[in-house]
Every structure is written in structure tokens, then in C-alpha cells.
Amino acid sequence: MPPPLLELRAGSRTYPGARALREVDFDLRPGEVHALLGENGAGKSTLIRLLTGMERSDAGGSLLVDGAVVAEPTPRLMNAMGIAAVYQNPTLFDELSVMENLCIGEGGPLVSWRKRRAEARSRLARVGVELDLDRPVRHLRMAEKQAIEIARALGQRARALILDEPTASLAQNEAGRLLDLVESLRAAGTGILYISHRLEEVMRIADRFTVLRDGVRVGTHARGSVDRAGLLRMMAGRDLAELFPKEKVPIGEVALETRGLGCESGGVSGVSLTVRRGEILGIGGLVGSGRTELARILFGLTPADSGEIRIGGKPVAIRSVGDAMARGLAYVPEDRKAHGVIAELPVWENVTLAALRRLCGNWPDEPREEALAAGLAAELGVRAPSLHAATSTLSGGNQQKVALARWIATGPSVLILDEPTQGIDVGAKAEIHRLMGALARRGLAIILISSELAELLALADRIAVMRRGRLAGILPAAEAGREELLRLALGEERS
């Protein structure tokens, strides 16, 4: 048997505080579709980054093309060897024409537009799309941009094509055409690594399946040797031990209720749910399923255009963050570095930032601010050299505590936490879990958005699962199983 087109042996990758991939073996043969499956955070993206040369494996791992080790992989080198990738977010040149995007960076120092036009036309024909070649791509739809990306990758005579969620932004009929295209490429001998959350698609086209979980390869199976339920079971796995379940606290009256809440630009519609005092409502679902968008609607960042929000039983209008804060809402955002804390400011200023007006009116009162910050930092166990240290000098976990302290300082009645433990170490994670329990006992209603099923199952009282901007279902955590949650998130019927 000839060697695989592309192979990773014992690929590992460690980021500060987390091992994203542990000794994973993966290979891709010519003329096959090899599906890569796993939950959010299972290590799929990291694996792709190793395969395309964007990152290198830790010591002990190696990357092979046609059976020969690639000593120093770079994106350019891998590309030259015929490994092409199309990413979830198009990386096209918005201002440039369709024609130029299709051929950019190819050919010699001189550009022949006549040749490019012919080349572009034939590449578009291969993916079965008709477009005005002179139109700037910024005017195109997502599906059209995706087609251009694939056509461009193909044009580089790719022998191996990595498709990362190629249908995520496509409508059903367009997705069908993309699958036809993948099949015709396979027939032409291209090896395709296919990543998708749509199990139906994957079952239709894949010849082999590799499942990753928590950075480890759970298994690789050929078509026919595994069924849908088996794949789900492999993806779901068991709970990890490092979690600190919520203690039982009395659940009070309804703190916040939504009825048919939606926002077209955010892609969220018809969300009806309630969260009670003392309760932790988990929100699960895939990345891009509308979880963060829902939080942004509740917090007035992208105000709702349909449905209503009720607080304390009365409908309220939340048109801005100011409205949301006045109603006792607080939101600790997902991207800690970009939105959670201002890294250059000292710890104490970060803590008091959102509560300034409440605390001191129009005139800042530094001693009061510092007293408040000191109190909260002690309560949350923020480990900092001093309250005057720049927040950027703290570890990720401690920065997250600062972000949390900022919103606790506003005295909220509903606290929305978006991926509060993403990318922080196990110790800090446990502390944040403990803290959430303590806040719930105080009577706060907490909405916990998390990609980690184990975290939702351990902490939440009930779990709401989002899928494509809608609520796919709400389950009491005690009754929910991982497979059932995954099934809701992926849109699979009970089998």
C-alpha cells in the first residue's frame, strides 16, 4: 500500500495552561474523505493547524507527506506540497475582484489578465458556480465566497484539501452542491479532510471517521464499522473529575423571563426561557449556535427586534447596556482579553469600572473605589502582587476573577457568564465554580454559557441547548445525559 498522502504521528500541542492535543495519530489517503469529529474544544482546530504548518507539534511528533518527514513545516511549504485548506471564515480580499481572488499570488512577476480571466473562469466552472468575474468579492454572499475559496484552493493543484466546516454558513441546497463537489473531487483522487458538525453530511460522504475528545484520539473507524449512535458515544465520552458541582440552594422566584425573544441581525429567534433566583441556567450548543448572541440581546448590546424580556414579572425594554445594567443585569463576556478586562489598567480600576457611577456618582472617589476593589479581590481570591499592578501581569484565571469582580461590584440580580473558564487552569476553574455556587446561594440568577458539557452538567440546574439561533430544548441537568445534549446541539433525532 502506498504511504498516506498526509500523516501526523504522535502530534501534540501544549498552550500555556492547557494541552490541546496529546499524541494524536492521523492520516489522509488519496481519494478518500476522512471526517474529523469532536465537540467544541476537542482539538480539531489544533490538529488542522499542525497539518497545515501553521503550528508545529511539540517534541516527539512528526508530520509526513507521501511518507517523507517534513522537518520544518510552514504554511507555504505545506501549500507547495499540495496541502490546501479552506477555513470556516473566508480569507478573501474583499476589495479585489472575483477573478483576482481566484488567482492571487500565482504566476510570475507579470500579470496577464487575459490568462487570469480564462483560468478564473475554468476554476469557477469546476466548482459549478457562475459569478461576475469583475465584481469585488465584498458584495458576494457567504456561499459564493466559500465557493471561491474552494476554487482557489483547487487551482493550486491541491492533492489534499482540508475543509473546516465548509457548510456551516450555507443553506441546505447550497450545502448539497458542496457535498457533490467533494464527491467529485474524491473521485478525481483528492484526499479530503472534512470537518463538520452536521452528522448527516458526514455520514453521507465520509469513508473514515476520526473522533477527538479532550485533545486525545478516541478512535478511527471505517465507514460501515460504526453507526451514528456509536459516533455520538465516542464524542461524548465520560465526565472528567476536575469539576466542582453546584451545591443545593433554594430556588426562588423567576428573576428573568424571555418570550419569543429574537434579533434578526444576531440570527437568534423565538427564544423563551426563564431563570430563577438561586438557579444556574446552563446554555449549551455549538460555537455559532447563537449562545453569545442571546447574551448580547439580553444585555442590550444588540437589542432585540422581536419578543419580550420580563424582569420581576414585568416586561422591560432593554435597548442599551445602560438599560440592562439599570435592570440589574451583568454580563461577563467571552473574550476576556478583548472585552473582559482592560489589560493596561490596574486591578482596582478594572474592578470598579462598571460600578463607578453607582458607587460615587459623577465624581470618582478613589478611596471608596479602592476599598470596594480590595473587598471584592479578597472575596474572589484574586492573586495579584498589588491592587495597583497592571491587570495584564495577572494569570488568565486571576484576570477572569477580575472580570467577574467588576460585574459583581454592580450588585446584579442576573449574572450572565459567557465561557467563564475557557483557557484557564484547573485550580482557577474550580475557584470560579465555587464562586458561582456562592453567588447562587446569595440569590443571584446565573446564566452560564459553556462549550464544555461536563461543566454544564456539573454546575447547572437546568440546561438550555441552542441550535442555529433557536432553542433546541431545555433539560433538567439531573436528567440530561451528554449524548442527549449533543443530540440536541447537533440536531439529531433520537435513534
Partner 1 sequence: MRAARRELALVAAIAVVGLLPLFGVPGFYRAGNLRNLAIDNLPVLVAGIGMTVVIISAEIDISIGSLFAVCGALSGLAAKAGWPMPLVALATLAAGAVIGAANGLLVARARVPAIIATLATMAILRNAIIRATGGAWIQDLPAGFQWFGLPQAVAQPVYLGAAAALFLAAAWALRHTAAGRSFYAVGCDHEAARRIGLAPGRVVLAAFTIMGALAGAAALLNFTRYPTIETNAGVGLELQVIAAVVVGGAAVTGGRGTLLGTLLGVILLGMIGTVFTFLHVNPAWGKAIQGAIILAAVVSDTAFGKRERDD
CB of 49 to partner 1, least distance (A): 13
- Using CB under 8 A as the binding rule, the residues of this chain from 384 to 423 that contact partner 1 are none
β-pairing, 470-476 vs 462-467, is antiparallel
Distance (Å, whole) CA 332 – CA 9: 39
Nearest CB to partner 1, comparing residues 106 and 239: 106
H/E element holding 351?
helix 347-352
| Binder among 25, 94, 264, 335 for partner 1 (CB under 8 A) | 94
Residues 23 and 48 sit within 8 Å (Cβ to Cβ): no
C-alpha cell at 408: 459583581
Q: Cα dihedral angle (372, 374, 376, 381), rounded to 10 degrees?
A: 180
In angstroms, the Cα distances linking 489 to 204, 213, 333, 456 are: 19, 16, 22, 13
Q: Which of 20/86 has CB closer to partner 1?
A: 86
Alpha helices in 264-319 (DSSP H): 291-298
Question: Which residue in 59, 110, 241, 478 binds partner 1 (CB under 8 A)?
Answer: 110
Q: Which is nearer to partner 1, 153 or 465 (CB)?
A: 153
Smallest distance from partner 1 to CB 177, Å: 22
Taking the least distance from each CB to partner 1, the nearer of 54 and 426 is 54
> Could you tell me the smallest distance in angstroms from the CB atom of residue 41 to partner 1?
23
Sole window of 92-100, 257-265, 301-309, 333-341 interacting with partner 1 (rule: CB under 8 A): 92-100
Q: How far is the CB of 413 from partner 1 (least distance, A)?
A: 40
> Which residue in the set 68, 69, 113, 245 belongs to the binding site for partner 1 (CB under 8 A)?
113
Q: By CB neighbour count within 10 A (0-12 exposed, 13-18 middle, 19+ buried), where does 251 fall? A: middle
Q: Residue 165 or 369: which CB sits closer to partner 1?
A: 165
- Binding pattern for the stretch 133-152 against partner 1, x by CB under 8 A and - elsewhere: -xxx-xx-------------
Bridging pattern class, strands 191-195 and 33-37: parallel
In the chain, the amino acid numbered 305 is: D
Which of 342, 354, 298, 357 has its CA nearest to residue 323? 298
Site for partner 1 in 433-452 (CB under 8 A): none
| Out of 15, 60, 68, 93, the residue judged to bind partner 1 by CB under 8 A | 93
Residues at the interface with partner 1 (CB under 8 A): 75-76, 79, 91-96, 100, 104-105, 107-113, 134-136, 138-139
